Amino acid sequence: MPFITKSVIITGATSGIGQATALRLAKLGANLTLVGRNTDKLKAVAANCAEVGKTPLTLEVELTNESQAGSVITETVQKYGKLDVLVNSAGIIETGSIENTSLSQLDRMLDINLRSVYNLTMQAVPHLIQTKGNIVNVSSVAGSRSFPNVLAYCVSKAAVDQLTRCTALELAPNGVRVNSVNPGLLVLLSLILYVSLK
């Protein structure tokens, strides 16, 4: 199993891409730290991971809280002795245009989708340099293309893409790879529909 010696943090592990990533890496033997805001969902995903791999470390954390976010790195390294991979999958989507997206809504989107990614990445970097590790940022097709009525989301994901490019350039000399995945139109339209109907 290719990940049997690897220590991996996955944020947003309670649903969607984060959850699917957790289950896949569990099957590959990874030592997982699953991060989310919902205790029951975290326990459920952890149980599913344990059925196919090792029992993961679970951390109920609000990533916009800087001290809580720092504990993710600290507790992972304490448990596994190192950090090999950081998967920044946590994020939210909300609808709104330039006519009705408030500054508080923009701030909330940027706090979760960008600022928390920046903070966790910054704290993980010293450990990833030691292992010549990897960072994977879950962005969106909305980071590179424009869509109506999801303005703040598009802005936040465009920023994640630029963060990815800049950190990839900066960390390459240290052997750390940084990439983003940009899920496509069908996923985005499903999310928009889901949010609109809530």
Across 38-63, average pLDDT: 96
C-alpha span between 62 and 180 (Å, rounded): 22
Residue bearing the bigger pLDDT, 189 or 100? 100
**Residue 2: inside a domain:** no
**Residue 68: inside a domain:** yes
**Band (143; pLDDT cuts 50, 70, 90):** confident
How confident is the prediction for the chain on average, in pLDDT? 92
**Residue 1: inside a domain:** no
Range of the domain at 130: 7-197
Which residue, among 106, 122, 110, 3, has the nearest Cα to 54 in the 3D structure? 3
Which CATH number belongs to the domain containing residue 102 in this structure? 3.40.50.720
Annotated active-site residue in 80, 118, 153, 194: 153
Q: Give the global pTM.
A: 0.91
**Residue 82: inside a domain:** yes
- Is residue 134 over pLDDT 80? yes
- Is residue 3 over pLDDT 90? no
Specify the DSSP class assigned to residue 129.
H
CB atoms within 10 A of CB 132: 12
Question: Known catalytic residue: 80?
Answer: no
**Residue 154: inside a domain:** yes
**Total count of domains within the chain:** 1
